[in-house]
Amino acid sequence: MLTVVKAARLAARLLAPVKLFLCGDVMTGRGIDQVMAAPCDPSIHEPFARSALDYVRLAEEANGPVPRGVAPAYVWGEALEELERAAPHARIVNLETAVTTSADRQPKGINYRMSPANAACLAAARIDCCALANNHVLDWGEAGLAQTLSTLQGIGIRCAGAGLGEEAAWAPARIASGDGRLLFFSCAAASSGVPRAWRARAGRAGVALLPDLSARTLGAIGERIAAERRAGDLVVVSVHWGSNWDYAVTEEEQRFARGLLLAGAHVVHGHSSHHAKGIEVFDGKLILYGCGDLVNDYEGIGGHEAFRGELGVLYFATLDRGAGRLLRLEMSVMRMRRLRLERAGPADVSWLGERLAREGRRFGTRVEAAAGGLALAL
């Protein structure tokens, strides 16, 4: 009898819902790196700036003094309390910053890097996994990517989407989630600005770059999912795609996102735009077309104020373990101020809720107010 009871309890745990924390771009380089304890050389080679400290100055001009030599947890600010309150089983971000002291600067115009000595800022938020298939992970060359990978491994953070060869770049991260596994795949489209020369090949470091958004490409991803997936696994496919400062979701992107779900994914985790985009639920499963930025040093930069890029979102998705269907999506709205996340005020939350509702109409989704934030109406 005891064995039967234990088996029943184990089965219940295996079928218990799983909560994921997902967010968009976490850009801890440049100005944010400079206010931490051990920054890189601040020299940069951008059209309008020659020092990463210029971005600290802009933030200070906008909102007041920013401390120097801050603790690793500083940049996360009040988001840490939200993460503890939500208690997700897995925490996933798109790390759009090389973690390196490499001097092999690629001629891109804008290059992000954070000193490996400051990588504790990622551990401070207890990040489980980083998506690396994006347009900044190789900003400092293959040596910079290698150091990024080794640094993340050294602090116990898994990653996917970039590697020292093609198979490594496409390999999923395997994350314990509750009493089961989460398989996390990361890939990028050229539309996000990833140079095609960065595509990982056999024996050559790079990112998991999609050749296109065709049915053939979907089939190849589906084969990778099938080869890795075991009974009870949940699958997230993260895609860095689309241009900055644009709410548009193309029909091709929508077909591809839906195709990923039909190919075996349970969540599509999209990012690249610097602001949150529309949300879709297809066949009961979640598509985040663009999660926006969560952490960046854009504070005080003018030109795109209408998009309210200073507002970031913590997405908490609760999934049914059996079928991977979305049970709840809660969104905590944050605001960058003095290079630190704080809870957004009621007017900011309302503004973002209206934008997400507007962008969700074409997908048949509604956003409603929830305790201290927003939620998808299901």
DSSP secondary structure letters along 147-195? HHHHHHHHTT-EEESEESSHHHHHPPEEEEETTEEEEEEEEE-GGGT--
239: amino acid identity, one letter: V
pLDDT digits (tens, 9 = 90+) for 340-357: 999 999 999 999 999 999
Is 314 a residue whose pLDDT tops 60? Answer: yes
* Alpha helix stretches (DSSP H) within 182-232: 215-228
Question: What's the rounded mean pLDDT across residues 111-140?
Answer: 98
pLDDT tens digits along 42-61: 999 999 899 999 999 999 99
Q: Does residue 7 have a pLDDT over 60?
A: no
Q: Residue 304 to residues 133, 301, 308, 326: CA-CA distances in angstroms? A: 25, 8, 7, 33
| Domains, the chain, ordered by start | 17-377 (3.60.21.10)
Q: What is the pLDDT of residue 177?
A: 80
Q: Average pLDDT, whole number, for the chain?
A: 95
Phi-psi region of 369 (alpha: psi -120 to 50; beta: other; left: phi over 0): beta
CA distance 235 to 158: 15
Report the interhelical angle of 215-228 vs 251-262 (nearest 10°).
30
Q: Which phi and psi angles does 75 have, rounded to 5°?
A: -60, -30
**Average pLDDT score over residue span 128-140:** 98
Q: Is 11's pLDDT higher than 70?
A: no
What integer pLDDT is reported at residue 8 of this predicted model? 40
Residue 6 has pLDDT above 60, yes or no: no
pLDDT given at position 179: 76
Enter the pTM of the model: 0.95
Lowest mean pLDDT among 70-79, 169-178, 210-219: 169-178
For position 372, what pLDDT does the model report?
80
CB 274 within 8 A of CB 293: yes
Segment 279-303, tens digit of pLDDT = 999 999 999 999 999 999 999 999 9
Distance CA 69, CA 37 (A): 4
How wide is the angle at C-alpha 81 spanned by C-alphas 75 and 82, nearest 5°? 100
Task: Please say whether the beta carbons of 100 and 113 come within 8 A.
Answer: yes
The confidence score (pLDDT) of residue 28 equals 98
pLDDT at 14 over 80: no
**pLDDT confidence tier of residue 2, bands split at 50, 70 and 90:** low
